Structure 1
């Protein structure tokens, strides 16, 4: 009898410093691990064409790559959002897509959103710069407004946004939310007043974006929306950078359509580029705080997401069901039978 070839798992990209956690899990399952450094879809094709499974962090796994795969059975995402994976193309090819349920970083992102909000509202970075330069005056932060009684608006109201709402309530804020995929009574049951998108934009003193990146949400916040916001409002984005039109945001911050912003990502998503340079004009402004897509980070969260993603591919390749499938229902329709 011919010995069956060892199945291969390819990590397309990672910024964790090593793949020790994944290697231990994959090897224990009798599988082979290959770690790559992909930035483009061509890189993905070259590294993973023959792979039985793929784990991806930032690298795009689009239709072109998926159609080039010879025997891939599962694509696992380090994280919750699957905007970098063409799920429909994977489904057509009979490939399972998995993610990590967002409770792996729910508290981290909620904390980070509030940290950005508080730092922007209380002018923390401006005070720090002024103090280091020798200016010891509370007036260097003028104007600052009281948080209590102000309105926090949430664009999308999933688990992370609900955790942000709980934190905002502790500061005495009124919380409103717009989520077209939730019933108004469910929004209310989780601590926010349901509202329309237009009302959210116009009424929020602090607008926090926590929506997934989709065709519908790309550039959802552009010049028309920013012009409708209060001139005293602050925009916080702890979701994906491309939801906001950076050119429009620069104009809004420079010309005073809004007062400030806190961003955990920018439109070009630097982690997805090779040899990125900080030329985005937003970096020249003092009324915006930018962090390097770090909202999800804690040592505990990173260990959890790496462990979960690796175990998902190990489950699938050893004939067990995944714990967090993204397209299992669609696969059952498109590819009915045991393989689905």
Structure 2
């Protein structure tokens, strides 16, 4: 009987997996829910398992793969930065992800963070809570239509964000070495180089996956190219942005504000970026809607079923992909 281990992570729904696997796999499937969160727990839980459905907090390392006899690792998310994809490929383990389950949600969340920061909603709300009623609490605020908004990476989420921003008459620019200028132009976006993104943009949204090339790419030099009225939004992964450089930019009025759905450490412990008047932090929740949660679990379960049935899953990660 095939054995599938599900992380006891809140976004992973065992009932959906049971429903999908019961209808898609000819033989009975044993499903176990386990507290993961570390390589050691994963090794213990994955013993004699055929499939593991894992979360953001569990490193799927070479050691964990070596100690198991898995057929498939499902990363229940868009990114696979905590999975050693190369080590999995060497051992014949299929890695899958769910690349499009929350495209609309993350794009909408990023635009929401941007406008909340641009319009100084947090300072205004705090001022009113403290008994104030003055427009000055949010100054300076610049007109959106007079601005240039930059997109760091131009995958499906950034594309959707560009569509949502198109009605506000701002100029849109993007940097992505894997997307050509013509494709960006189809979305009303001008392709620029990395330095040009930060030189041209008044505000920047970060959508890049976390890789060796992107870790810390938004550094002090990049942030130093922005203005004191700029807003930085990050809905990708925390370590793509140099947290120390961002804190310095905020403390020295190098930029106006930051909207962050991701942090370097999650959940944070004494993170100086949390609790500031000039930061708006959400708990890695940009993905969430009830519809997205259902799509995530059904797609992940379908990938498990495909592998158990000897088929190629829709969410298979190509170990030779340029963005890894």
TM-score class, shorter-chain normalisation, is: over 0.9
Change (3 A) 1:257 1:329: closer
1:175 paired to 2:172: yes
Distance 1:260 1:219 in 2: 19
Shift of 1:329: 7.5
User: Please, what TM-score do these two structures have when normalized by structure 2?
Assistant: 0.94
Alignment size in residue pairs: 317
Look up the match of 1:246: 243
Instruction: Kindly state the Cα deviation for residue 188 of structure 1 after the two structures are TM-superposed.
Output: 1.6
User: Are positions 1:15 and 2:10 aligned together?
Assistant: yes
Deviation at 1:278, TM superposition (A): 3.4
Q: Is the alpha carbon distance of 1:304 and 1:214 closer, same or farther for their aligned partners in structure 2, counting shifts above 3 Å?
A: same
Write out aligned runs for 1:68-217 (5 A).
68-69=67-68, 71-102=69-100, 104-217=101-214
Q: Deviations over 1:42-67 (max 9, x none)?
A: 11111113210111121121111111
Using the size of structure 1 for normalisation, the TM-score is 0.90
Q: Counterpart in 1 of 2:262?
A: 265
Shift of 1:145: 0.8
Matching residue of 2:44: 46
Q: Distance in 1 between matches of 2:278 and 2:239?
A: 20
Distance 1:168 1:39 in 2: 37
The match for 1:300 is 291
Matching residue of 1:323: 314
1:18-37, aligned counterparts within 5 Å?
18-28=13-23, 29=25, 30-37=28-35
Deviations 1:168-210 (A, max 9, x none): 1111110000000111222222220000100101221110000
1:17 positional shift = 7.7
Q: Which moved more, 1:160-169 or 1:12-21?
A: 12-21
1:290 equivalent in alignment to 2:289: no
* Aligned-partner Cα distance in 1 for 2:245–2:64: 33
Q: 1:160: Cα distance to partner? A: 0.9
Equivalent position SS for 2:144: coil
Q: Which residue of 2 aligns with 1:309?
A: 300
Q: 1 CA distance for matches of 2:272 and 2:301? A: 38
Deviations 1:275-322 (A, max 9, x none): xx5300111421010001111100000011011101211121122331
The CA RMSD over aligned residues, in Å, is 1.6
Greater shift in the superposed pair: 318-327 or 60-69: 318-327
Work out the CA distance in 1 between the residues paired with 2:299 and 2:139: 46
| Distance change in 2, residues 1:17/1:96 (3 Å) | closer
Cα separation, 2, equivalents of 1:32 and 1:327:
28
Asked if 1 retains the 8 angstrom alpha-carbon contact of 2:3 and 2:51, the reply is yes
- Residue 63 of structure 1 corresponds to 62
- 2:255 match: secondary structure: coil
Which residue does the alignment assign to 1:336? none
Counterpart-to-counterpart distance in 2, 1:67 and 1:294 = 32
Alignment pair present for 1:280 and 2:279: no
Which ranges of structure 1 fall in alignment gaps of 5 or more residues?
Answer: 1-5, 271-276, 331-340
Displacement of 1:26 in angstroms is 3.0
Whole-Å separation in 2 of the counterparts to 1:31 and 1:329: 31
